[in-house]
A and B are shown apart, each in its own frame.
Chain A
Amino acid sequence: MGNTGDTGSDEYLVLMKNIVKIYPDGTIALRGVDFTLRRGEIHGLLGENGAGKTTLMKILAGILKPTSGTIYVVGKKVVFSAAADALKLGIGMVHQNLSLIPSFTVYENIVLGLPRKQLLNARENINKLMSLTGLRVPLDERVEVLPFGVKQKVEILKMLFRNVDVLILDEPTTNLTLTETRELFNMINELKKMGKSVVFITHKLREVMEVADRITVLRKGRVVGEVPRAEANLNLLAQLMVGRNMISATSRETTTAGEELLIVRDLWVLSDLGTWAVRGVSLTVRSGEILGIAGVEGNGQKELVEGLTGLRRVEKGEVIFRGRRINNLPPSELYKLGIAHIPEDRTLMGLILDFTVSENSILSIQRSTSFRGFLNTLVWGRVAEHALSLITKFNITAPSLSSPVKYLSGGNQQRLVVAREISKEPQLIIAAQPTRGLDISATEHIRSLLLDFRKRGKAVLLVSSDLEEILQLSDRVAVMYEGRFVGIKNVSELTEDKLGLMLGGVSD
């Protein structure tokens, strides 16, 4: 790190000029971006996935090095060689997947790496900081047992305890409940009163309108707008962000629900910790319908999906698919019976990131005779044909069939997963958080694929913590709370407000 020269202006706490970032694989993430941050300002950084928001802020936080461009902090040119350098200058970033050490206590996470003299009164000072900011966390609890919202508070405290002036929050509300989001916004406003600056990275229009003083919109690595909140409105921001008028919500055609495909009676499933995660859930999914399961994450949805897809033992209850009991059958059997699965985490469960597009396109159907030739060996030509047909049919953008899927954007990775699952021609798709972290166009695309699947008389069991998605896609909606259903209702009987109550465990 070096402070050289006094160019740049004092008006801004942070001034980033003409930042370009080209990744080693050739991806151009930023194409000459200017960004400014004032003292005591809440600055919304808005954009779709892949717009370059996170890359830009990782550069400011010293985690990534820019390919070119300059950064001024309080008027002084700075070059960061590590995140620690930025932290010394009071710039701290809270990542979407937090960088905490799970097996350490909250206290240990906060004081990690501090010089000894700061450790003497650390506990006392953290307590002071907690009452000052209203961020209350249990200091002696191990981080891994805390819910996400609390972990995030720990991460923010960790930064504040290091006296940051600039706090960068990367999509902080992704995993938060409504109440937690409210708390976060209050906290951000408290920080503003303390004179701190906050960069709020998001793709959520309402949130940025609610919390930001000024909004910079990025699209495909360029700044396409910088608006004070007073001059902003939802439509303007949406247009800037997407570059076209926002697609109206996918309309749902009515279909008549047919036979009962999947019947679940009194299902009980354990969590990793050995406690009951699913406590007696019953449901039916008919052909031609989408059953949506809403709920704040961590209420047993993950275990429910894993129980139904053969990834986790069903302890009690019955799972019946087309008249056959399928409790605890292995996933491969379930595929053969006509159940496909779009898993929650595409990078861990849906794809093998280092495998190519072709290879990933036949995962779990690799035994199909259509890919086999002499002596049962795989015929790569046929695999490539299959992959190519998926790519064209489902509009997947990939550098080539032989590039590892890790080089595809999140949206295209998920398109590939969905395409592969649909290509198995199942009767039922169990889709968990199918559009999480995706940009608007990928989200719309995947939702329309699921609706299309339903229109063809098939069924979808949709698990999502995105209420808008649940309301847009589902025919019937169940809300999961503490391992149970708070109720199953037709979507026409529901409003977002009503759902909000149910999410909090309040049934009428």
Chain B
Amino acid sequence: MSYVLSTIINLLVSTSYAMTPLTLTAVGEITSERAGVVNIGLEGMISVSALVSVAVATQTLNPWLGLLAGVCAGALIGFIHGIISAYGKGAQIISGVGINIFALGFVPYMIIALWGVAGYKQVPEAGRIPRIAGLVSPIFIFCVLIAIATHYILFRTSLGLKIRALGEEPQAADTLGVHVERLQLIATVYGGALAGLAGAFMSLDWLGTITKEIAAGRGFISLALVVFSNWKPSLALLGGALFGSSWALTEWLKVLPGVKGVVPVTIINTLPYIVTLGTVAGVIGRARPPRKSGVPYLRE
């Protein structure tokens, strides 16, 4: 295999890893925002779920149980956020910030409490998700499928119509007998579960470790991806690939002869964030958010 070909394959494979958590989280958040609930706590949900999944996987040495636990942890936080937002009519931004702050304390504390190490725990080989042909993650495949399926549900089914109605004009939907709060709660739980899956994927599959900074801004980049994709899951898949490839490129650049040791690593590390900023700045204003997203629905 030539150097070029193997480089391309390497880049593609690492893109598939880098894009998975971004896309999963963004697809979940799109669903939630389409239903009118904004969750800026994605960052915290990713790290908490990553932690929970590692805890279960190291105990049971079963990666699938760990994965399930991570998804459940995300769904639970989504549920709490949904109760506060949909039923409590609370300030969604505050609740989201709360989730992030909670994770900031909870994750480092639990790493020490569970394993007696500060900030870092390796997942044992038996607790890691096996890869297809040693290269491709099954969760990447799932991520592609779920993005397409969510797109289909949102734009091609009557359930999707109801969900989108909640983000645009919940009163119109309410009048027609749509259960506004219940559906909003379901959407936030779904969003939470996907963010949880993203977290579990990062710790049990991609990185094979849990660190206190595991999310590394991915929750916020997912929010940017939601805007970039104009609230469409299919475009989130595309945007995820774009953002993900910038991550893959960063890793590749770091070890590239001529760059390594010349350009400081810290500068190269900023690349994905600059790409995010650049693309989103270009898209903003043209994207059309759900009109009532983030606004609690109050009846007369």
Contact = CB atoms under 8 A, between A and B. Distances in A.
B266 interface: no
B176 A101 contact: no
B165 A84 contact: no
Interface in B138-184: 158, 161-162, 164-165, 168-169, 171-178
Interface string B209-239: 0000000000000000000000000000000
B161 A87 contact: no
Contacts of B288: 103
- Give the interface size bracket for A toward B: 20 to 34
Contacts of B164: 104
Contact of B169 (A63, A99, A158, A162): A99
A99 B168 contact: no
A101 B175 contact: no
Nearest to B180: A82
A111 interface: yes
A63 B158 CA distance: 24
B177 A101 contact: no
B300 A63 contact: yes
What's the dominant secondary structure at chain B's contact region?
helix
B229 to A, nearest CB: 16
Contact of B165 (A112, A116, A119, A158): A112
B291 A113 contact: no
A113 B162 contact: yes
A112 B300 contact: no
A455 to B, nearest CB: 43
Contacts of B162: 112-113
Contacts of B300: 58, 63-64
Interface string B269-300: 00000000000000000001001000000001
Contacts of A113: 158, 161-162, 165, 173, 176-178
A112 B161 contact: yes
A99 B171 contact: yes
A319 to B, nearest CB: 29
B161 A84 contact: no
A108 B175 contact: no
B173 A112 contact: yes
Given A63-B175, A63-B300, A104 B165 contact: yes
A83 interface: yes
14 contacts: A58-B300, A82-B177, A83-B174, A83-B177, A87-B176, A87-B177, A101-B165, A101-B168, A102-B168, A104-B161, A108-B161, A112-B178, A116-B158, A119-B158
| Among all A-B residue pairs, the 6 with the closest Cβ atoms | A84-B177, A113-B176, A99-B172, A83-B175, A101-B169, A101-B168
